[in-house]
Structure 1
Amino acid sequence: MHSFRSVSVSGLLPLVLCLAPGLAGADEPIDAARLFQENCTTCHSADRGGYIAPALNSTALNSSETALRSMIMLGIPDTLMPPWHGVLSDEQIRALAHYIKTTPRDNPQWTLQDIRDSLEVLVDESKPPDKPVYDGDVRDLMAIMQRGRYGKAPAARVVFFDGKTNKQVGEVPTDYAPHILDYDPVNPRWGYLKTDTSEIYKIDLYSLKAVRKVKAGLSGPSIAVSADGRYLLSGSFSPGIVTLFDARTLEPLSRVELRGKDYDGKQVESASSMVIASPLDNTFAIAVRQTGQVWILDPSRPQEPIVTRIEKVGRFVHDAFLSADRRYMFLADYVGNAFAVVDLKERKLVKTIAGGCQPHVGSGAITEIKGRQVAFGTNIGTCDKGDVVTVWDARTFETIKQIPVSGATESPAAHPDAPYVAVDVVSKDSRARRVELIDKNTLSVAKTIEADGHLYFPEYTRDGKYLYISGGYSGDRLHIYDSHSLEEVASYPLETPAGIFSRARTEWGTVGLQAQAKSGKP
């Protein structure tokens, strides 16, 4: 078990359940709130309002306490929910089930002082190596988020591979499940890892060691590094905030609470969806989830950082990616079933592109096809429209085609030198064993990769020769394929691997584009 800093979480009042006489450990009370924070937050959020897994609170649940206890004990197949029998005692499982069933959603807080107090220096940075300690080019690094079956240490870590040799070159342990890794676009040595419980690790990509860490919130994965490499912005689901940091020190500079009018004019509290760095003017764009707005944050004025609020972008905005010229932001509207096009120069909504069901773009993908820059938008939901991937012209925003696929999709991957656009099928059945390959010339599914477990988060290497795919859930392997023949060239056992992030993302700007700068050569 990991320690939980309950003293720093304002508003988290632990529910203590005393065991009945005669049960093992009856003299010691079980702190169910603490158990939840230590074991369940990575998937269900610190406020128990849901995150990458459903909400767990008295208002949201119809399941009986007995049914909850069974689910906790046995887990749920084909999901990230593992069996906790043998990890937690029967008494702890009973206490958790009772707590979840009888307690309303929390409203935990995490203040600027909490953030400041959580900062830790992990490594002496006075004498860093002047080049990578491994053979190879830092630009070829592939970072794989290993969640671990229980979403925490000792299995949780980011594992680094060389995309030229497909060999592991290092790893960095984390306290809780890692979710995303963003890279400094200016200095090749720095990467910034964010966990599902909002810890940020500053990682030296030369030594492959975490040098600093800070807790930016309680739940939520979004993170972005400014175009000049000086600032870091972190978004949080719980509480609903964004926090601006000095990227060098991880000192917090400002904290902004997210609230405003939603699409229908109702005042709402909001979580932060994706945050994205705009190279146009060294600002950040924030997808303010429940408001359906996009906010522009200027890091050069931390006392009043929000400079623009673009309203009615969508009904429930989530993830986004940028056009090749960095001017336009393509944003998924979960509820509106559309992709919004926001002009970051004029700071306004300019187009809404009809999508499939519950659009989801992951990191997005744009690739050149027959002289056109073609954008790919995945759809994570299913409805009477059928399962499709929406493609549009990234310059004119005109819809080109809605490509039928075999299920809900999440994260597209493309590369200018690879013949296929890869999309992971994430339907909650055997279809999740597939990644489907869309032929660039025909814009239709031409090939399918299948393997054990849930295949997701495809990512091409910097040179486009290889396609990396995580085999999560019961698969527990990293799969590496030749991008042309689609033959598997290597695989490695990893415990619940998830997101994959190429260091070359800073060269591409957006996944699938030609390298725009040869930054990062040691």
Structure 2
Amino acid sequence: MKRLCHALAPLMLMAATPALAADADATAGLYQTHCASCHGEARLGGVGPALLPGNLSRLKPAAAVEVITHSRAASQMPAFDDVLDAEQIKSLAEWIYRPPDTEPRFGEAEILASHTVMHPDGSLPDKPRFDADPLNLFIVVETGDHHASVLDGDTFERIHRFETRYALHGGPKYTPDGRYVFFGSRDGWITKFDLYNLEVVAEVRAGINMRNIAVSADGRYVMAANYLPHSLVLFDAHNLDMMKTYPVKNAAGESSRVSAVYAAPPRGSFIAALKDIKEVWEIPWPLPTESVVSTGHMQTPLAPSRDPALESFKVRRIGVPDYLDDFFFDPGYEHVIGASRGGQGGMVVNLDSGEKVADLPLEGMPHLGSGITWEHEGRRVMALPHLGRAEVSIIDMQSWELIKTLETDGPGFFMRSHANSPYAWVDVFFGPHRDRVHVIDKQSLEIVKTLTPEPGKTAAHVEFDRDGKKLLLSLWEDDGAVIVYDGDTLEELERIPMSKPSGKYNVWNKTRYEEGTSH
């Protein structure tokens, strides 16, 4: 029997559709007959993704109808047009956007039951199966058919391509030696992949709707941030054994979705952004004996000012004046720059004192998670695009003053540079000019070139190689490509066909916290 498998992954935020005329019980019966074996009897997912409103936030209802009716390319999703009539399909598509009568449960028992270890830590050879520089590899996430490619960062040859979980989110995270990479999916799955042996070595499901994961600077711990349930979950990175779950509540018992979790190497801690309560959480991990971590443009002592009384894995609650669900950090992780997606600006909070030290005029829904920094006239500046305005804001990180607003051809999503590059790149992800990308001179603070790699096709997300000499840009389409550019001349060098390539993540930049890449 045909089953509704794999294809209903999230794509765009939307409101619930009006109820259709079909009887809810009959529709629930259709779901159990045709969908439950892949997506779970309680819609929590299984072979296919979870079918709950939060997990479908990126899929428009009309697209859901189309997928159920005609299938989806490069997936195991079959067409149902010869099994169900049009009204039944519309009823199913509407029904999966309704909240279930009982809130789904996903606790420690469910996490433990999901855990699988394919290759225990240390059981595979400790030498790469390829000749490429393991610290200059790129992971390219291909969302069109849910795969990832491993590219040689010197030759840009594809070393390997493998299937991933659906709707990866938040970017893969590496261990410090670059050998292992961890992926997180919207459906809550954490996958540990051995880049030396090109094998999945362990998996576990941390929640139903997960935002992202973070890996400690020593590579020993992984933490997951969940929207559903409202929790943080801590894992041992070796085999992804669960260590602890943290229900996210304030002193009054009000719970919150977790917008994201970050590793703060100089502090030796995880820092979590909470969407529904006015707190920031810091959770320290045990410090290693040698406590220095490279952050690309500087060697930073690990947790130089940490209070010795601060217990490992114990939550430190930092009260903040407003909801902060998007973060950026200064290079030393002394301050968090935060904003609420529904707010009218940003603020700077000292992570040691918990005090707000500045307000920032960022009213255009800044995408702080994509911000970058560089030295400009002897002072460090941060620059970030806006999701709601056609501009890039540039801020002095000493005075916290806005020093420049660059007008762009539309709202942007990603911004990237490198310590060895004179340029910063920003896309125009939203609006009619999504096929353009701007190149900004980091000293003049002016746009010096606008590229249109393929008219009508979305151009987005730059990542440099380890030396900052070449970079990759995505044509974010099902029949897309990764384009290689010369970082100095801005000339296109080659194109590598890929299926809707989204993020590209260089091992060196991500493990050295290289200046100009997101952390």
- TM-score, scaled relative to structure 2: 0.79
CA contact (8 A) 1:457 1:498 kept: yes
CA contact (8 A) 2:5 2:77 kept: no
CA shift for structure 1 position 296:
0.9
CA shift for structure 1 position 278:
1.8
Rounded Cα–Cα distance in structure 1 between residues aligned with 2:75 and 2:193: 32
Pick the aligned partner of 1:389 from 389, 392, 405: 392
| Per-residue deviation, residues 424-480 of structure 1 (Å, max 9, x unmatched) | 2121x4311122111212212221222342222221111111221222234522222
Query: 2:92 — aligned with what?
Result: 96
2:315 partner SS: strand
Pick the aligned partner of 2:484 from 480, 483, 507: 480
Pick the aligned partner of 2:500 from 491, 496, 501: 496
CA contact (8 A) 2:370 2:384 kept: no
CA distance 1:460–1:292, change in 2 (3 Å): farther
Rounded Cα–Cα distance in structure 1 between residues aligned with 2:321 and 2:261: 15
CA shift for structure 1 position 173:
1.9
CA contact (8 A) 1:476 1:497 kept: yes
CA contact (8 A) 1:191 1:203 kept: yes
Letter of the 1:423 counterpart: V
Pick the aligned partner of 1:407 from 404, 407, 410: 410
CA contact (8 A) 1:321 1:510 kept: no
| Per-residue deviation, residues 388-416 of structure 1 (Å, max 9, x unmatched) | 21111234322221211111111210112
- TM-score, scaled relative to structure 1: 0.79
1:310 partner SS: strand
* 1:314-333 equivalences in 2 (<5 Å): 314-315=322-323, 317-333=324-340
Query: 2:436 — aligned with what?
Result: 434
Letter of the 2:476 counterpart: G
Whether 1:182 aligns to 2:173 is yes
* 1:40-439 equivalences in 2 (<5 Å): 47-49=52-54, 53=58, 68=61, 70-74=62-66, 87-90=78-81, 91=84, 93-100=89-96, 107-123=103-119, 125-148=121-144, 155-179=145-169, 180-185=171-176, 187-260=177-250, 268-300=254-286, 305-315=313-323, 317-382=324-389, 387-427=390-430, 429-439=431-441
1:114 partner SS: helix
Rounded Cα–Cα distance in structure 1 between residues aligned with 2:101 and 2:459: 32
CA shift for structure 1 position 39:
10
Rounded Cα–Cα distance in structure 2 between residues aligned with 1:233 and 1:514: 18
Whether 1:459 aligns to 2:463 is yes
Rounded Cα–Cα distance in structure 1 between residues aligned with 2:97 and 2:56: 18
RMSD: 3.5
Letter of the 2:385 counterpart: T
1:220 partner SS: strand
Query: 1:17 — aligned with what?
Result: 26
- Percent identity at matched positions? 26
Rounded Cα–Cα distance in structure 2 between residues aligned with 1:356 and 1:504: 34
CA distance 1:47–1:157, change in 2 (3 Å): same
| Per-residue deviation, residues 205-261 of structure 1 (Å, max 9, x unmatched) | 212221111111112231111122221111112222110111112111111122338
CA contact (8 A) 1:293 1:311 kept: yes
CA contact (8 A) 1:110 1:239 kept: yes
CA shift for structure 1 position 375:
0.9
CA contact (8 A) 1:120 1:214 kept: yes
Rounded Cα–Cα distance in structure 1 between residues aligned with 2:481 and 2:25: 39
Letter of the 2:451 counterpart: I
CA contact (8 A) 1:48 1:106 kept: no
CA distance 1:74–1:308, change in 2 (3 Å): same
CA distance 1:222–1:422, change in 2 (3 Å): same
CA distance 1:122–1:511, change in 2 (3 Å): farther
Query: 1:9 — aligned with what?
Result: none
2:467 partner SS: coil
Rounded Cα–Cα distance in structure 1 between residues aligned with 2:347 and 2:359: 5
Structure 2, unpaired ranges of 5+: 7-23, 287-308
Letter of the 2:247 counterpart: E
Rounded Cα–Cα distance in structure 2 between residues aligned with 1:380 and 1:400: 20
Count of residues in Structure 1 that have an aligned counterpart in Structure 2: 463
